[in-house]
Structure 1
Amino acid sequence: MATMMMNDMAARGLRVGLLTWDPEDATAHYPMDPAITWMKLAMGEASQRAGWGLRLRRQRAIRRLARGFRPDVVIGFQAGAFIALRTALVGLGIPMIAAERNAPDLYDFLRQGVRARRMTELALATASRITVQLPSYRPRYPAFLRRRIVDIPNPVPALAEPPYPNEAADPPRLILNMGRLSYQKNQAFLLRAFARVAPTHPEWTLAFVGDGDAGATLKALCHELDLDDRVLFPGATRDVGAWYARSAFLAFPSLWEGFPNALVEAFAHGLPAVGLRTTSGVNELIVEGETGLLSAPDEGAFAEALARMIRDDEARREMGRKAARSILAYDPKAIFDRWEALFRAVAKRRSAP
């Protein structure tokens, strides 16, 4: 989403800079407009916890780069990045936007969630504006932050001709899980739920498309459940569209999300989804019986939802069509118009006398 937004803002004539922890030889995962100035810190490993000495050097480097680039507004995606930028830029008078990328549910799953939430809220109080991805998230922030909050969902490009794989002459028998292999995505729960329905639906296969630190654990669990010949682990891919096109529906039991790209991408490809009714964002995008099915956070209940989706070809087909129509509300141009308006409003406050 960030790359899409940068490309769009650059195409509109705005001066855009990208600051990352990457080494100097890093290349972009997605095509990036050459007009974008990419500033790479190249200090330490982003995947490793930095010591205080490295953190201080990074802060000085960020401050130096910001002074050279002279932005009118800075946006930090996720709380950690915002806090790093905020502390580095203290005193420079540059207005900042904190872009929250998860629902507040996140803190319910952190070991020190209450403390982390309070610290984050205090940091957010220094932002000129805070963006959240759905209007329902705003009331779940403290009252002193709400006046700063603007809700802007992710853009979802609609396909000119969604493939509607469930309407093929030979409909697929593949259940798709797309995303990082991690605790957040709750794939062990999905594996155990699939194990309950696999014996009675031998023609169906489950695919985990993605990689992550839970990969080895999930493969071991797959073997333990005797599902080695029923579950695919193809790893990460840039051609996600090919997997959506060959799948029947998305199984998406994430514990927390913000505005899940994998879910709305599946919708754009004409796939309905099964998710948890307790997961914010997921339980708004999936409309029960319309764009998919919502389950209680229980393996048996989720297995039954999988079975319902497997058994009813006609319902699955109709939900896929409604899912594809639902993402028209997130037209990229309209979403990026809102971002540009926000950037200009925040920058204007800086230049006002």
Structure 2
Amino acid sequence: MRALARKGKSAARRLYRGYTRRRAEKAPPPSIRQVRILLLHANGMGGTIRTVFNLASYLARDHDVEIVSILKEAEEPFFPIDPRVRFRFLDDRLNPGPDPLRAMLSKLPSRLIPKEESAYHRFNLWTDLKLARYIRSLDTGVLMATRPGLNLAMAQLALPSVITVGQEHVALRTQPEPIQALIKWRYRRFDALVTLTKADLRDYRNTLPKKPRRLARIPNAVPPMTGGLADLDAKVVVAVGRMTRIKGFHRLIAAWQTVAESHPDWTLRIYGAGPQEENLAQQVAELGLQGKVELPGPTSDVGAALEQASIFVLSSRHEGFPMTILEAMAKRMAIVSFNSPHGPKEMITDEVDGLLVKPRTNANLAAAIIRVIEDGELRRRLAANALDTARTYDVDAVGAQWDALLEELLARRDGTYVRPQTPSAPPALL
């Protein structure tokens, strides 16, 4: 029976590959006119969503752009979106309708997304079906994905005639081993893999036994924000992010107990929501920090939240490329951050446009915040340099890198690509 089952699977794979090959042969020529971006939940909150919206808005100047959201769990997007960008939702969980197939498959676990994927619990057999149908419906254009599970599905299902671009917003080293094993096997099928940091790009180059056609590092761009620059005299320290353990807000609150003892007239304000929200509120109460630590909930207007403070703190255990640092820089804020080896370490030059603190050290975090509070000249110097740094992440500068990458991928497909000539070494002096 096992031998028969193996033969059946082998035959099914041959049929699938043959069907894929025939569809690819009949597909239109390669194109970058249409760009489709796979996202878990477009109407949710989070840095990845905000950066995807920012990229989609830029690309919509010259491309037909559609954000394809696996889930719909809110009526409207939490973040503002360019009206030129279209939306498609594969699984509308607000209005599911009386579909018996959906009702049955939604109760069964996903077979397409690896169990080790952090968002595995959001997927099921119904989302597998919808996602697979959508990816297989495309025969040209560009398809991007924005998290490991979606990248792996795209690598497995996309027709060869589609230009595929995998985006990674989380460092390779933080992925579970089974995910890394799949990445090593499947990511080679991409036309391009784009990382946010040089460190992550280096990790992929060293880890992948076979590379995609193109490996590139393109950072996120500063998104548009309302209002003006931050008030550097404001006695407010701010943090922004989803309230999960990885964001380290419990460490920040613990550190603030020390800060509050020296500077009771200063306030810590943490914007966000998530599974740790109740625990953090309880921690504030247990430490007697009511009135000194505020948890106002999430905000869709990050710019307005930042400009009311003078210092921004990032307390995450690790980050890929935290948009909140860029946003704080663009608001001319003094920044204190744990020295995460990827995003913060690349974005911040210690003692120049921010302070980097040894990770997971509450006492050091408190000391760095107190230093910036007490040294007004330092606060203003860090903030001014941060604003200069933010200008290097302007949306047009970063967007031009995406334009160049897409043009290169198209040229590689249609045979017009010319590899840049490396400068020849000068002749040796005799």
**Category of TM-score, reference length = shorter chain:** 0.7 to 0.9
Q: Equivalent residue for 1:260?
A: 322
SS in 2 for 1:233: strand
- The answer to whether structure 1 residue 3 and structure 2 residue 76 are counterparts is no
SS of structure 1 residue aligned to 2:296: coil
Contact 2:190-2:212 at 8 Å conserved across structures: no
What amino acid does structure 1 have at the position aligned with 2:141? D
What is the rounded CA distance, in whole Å, between the counterparts of 2:120 and 2:76 in structure 1?
Answer: 17
Give me the whole-angstrom Cα distance separating, in 1, the residues matched to 2:259 and 2:278: 23
Question: Aligned runs of 1:44-83 on 2, under 5 Å?
Answer: 48-51=121-124, 53-63=125-135, 66-67=137-138, 70-83=139-152
**Aligned pairs (5 A) from 1:132-147:** 132-141=195-204, 142=207, 144=209, 145=211
State the Cα distance separating 1:99 from its structure 2 match: 0.5
Q: Distance in 2 between matches of 1:9 and 1:122?
A: 30
Query: Quick check: 2:225–2:303 contact (8 Å CA) kept in 1?
Result: no
**Residue 153 of structure 1, aligned match among 219, 235, 240:** 219
1:36 pairs with 2:82: no
Per the alignment, residue 110 of structure 1 pairs with: none
Q: AA paired with 1:188?
A: H
Q: 1:279 to 1:191 in 2, by over 3 A?
A: farther
Structure 1 equivalent of residue 66 of structure 2: 17
Pairing of 1:67-146 with structure 2 (within 5 A): 67=138, 70-89=139-158, 91-107=159-175, 113-141=176-204, 142=207, 144=209, 145=211
- Provide closer, same or farther for how the CA distance between residues 71 and 165 of structure 1 changes in structure 2, counting only shifts above 3 A: farther
Gaps of 5+ in 1: 108-112
Residue 316 (structure 1) shift: 0.4
CA–CA distance in structure 1, aligned partners of residues 251 and 404 of structure 2: 41
Report the CA distance between 1:146 and its aligned residue: 7.8
Distance of 1:36 and 1:158 partners within structure 2: 16
Question: Which of residues 228, 231, 251 is equivalent to 1:189?
Answer: 251
Q: Please report how far the alpha carbon of residue 147 of structure 1 lies from its aligned counterpart in structure 2 after TM superposition.
A: 6.7
* SS at 1:330 equivalent: coil
Structure 1 residues 344, 27: closer, same or farther in 2, change over 3 A? farther
Q: CA deviation at 1:81?
A: 1.8
Contact map agreement 1:77 1:101 (CA 8 A) in 2? yes
CA shift for structure 1 position 135: 2.0
Tell me the distance in 2 between the aligned counterparts of 1:156 and 1:267.
Answer: 9
CA shift at 1:25, angstroms? 7.7
Change (3 A) 1:211 1:25: closer
Name stretches of at least 5 consecutive residues in structure 2 with no aligned partner: 1-50, 94-105, 107-118, 417-430
- The TM-score normalised by the length of structure 2 is 0.72
State the alpha-carbon separation in 2 of the partners of residues 334 and 278 from structure 1.
25
Higher relative contact order (CA 8 A, sep 6+): 1
Pairwise CA RMSD:
2.5
Runs of 4+ deviating beyond 6 Å: 158-161
The Cα shift of 1:350 comes to 3.4
- One-letter amino acid of the counterpart of residue 335, structure 1: V
Q: What are the superposed Cα offsets for residues 253-280 of structure 1, whole Å, 9 maximum, x if unpaired?
A: 1112122110110011110211112442
State the one-letter code of the partner of 2:91. Answer: A
Equivalent-residue separation in structure 1 for 2:131 and 2:173 (angstroms): 30
Task: Report Cα offsets for 1:309-347 as digits up to 9, x if no partner.
Answer: 111111101110111111111121121111122122223
1:222 to 262, 284, 287: 284
Q: Is the 8 A contact 1:105 1:280 kept in 2?
A: no
Deviation, 1:158, is 7.8
Shift of the alpha carbon at 1:43? 5.3
Q: Is the CA contact 1:105–1:256 (under 8 Å) kept in the aligned structure 2? A: no
Shift of 1:206: 0.5
Normalised by the size of structure 1, how large is the TM-score? Answer: 0.87
Q: Which amino acid aligns with 1:18?
A: I
How many correspondences in the alignment?
Answer: 338
Structure 1 residue 118: deviation in Å? 2.2
Which residue identity does 2:276 align to in structure 1? A
Larger Rg computed on CA atoms = 2
Partner of 2:253, secondary structure, is helix
* % same residue: 24
**Matches of residues 159-178 of structure 1 in structure 2 within 5 Å?**
163-166=229-232, 171-178=233-240
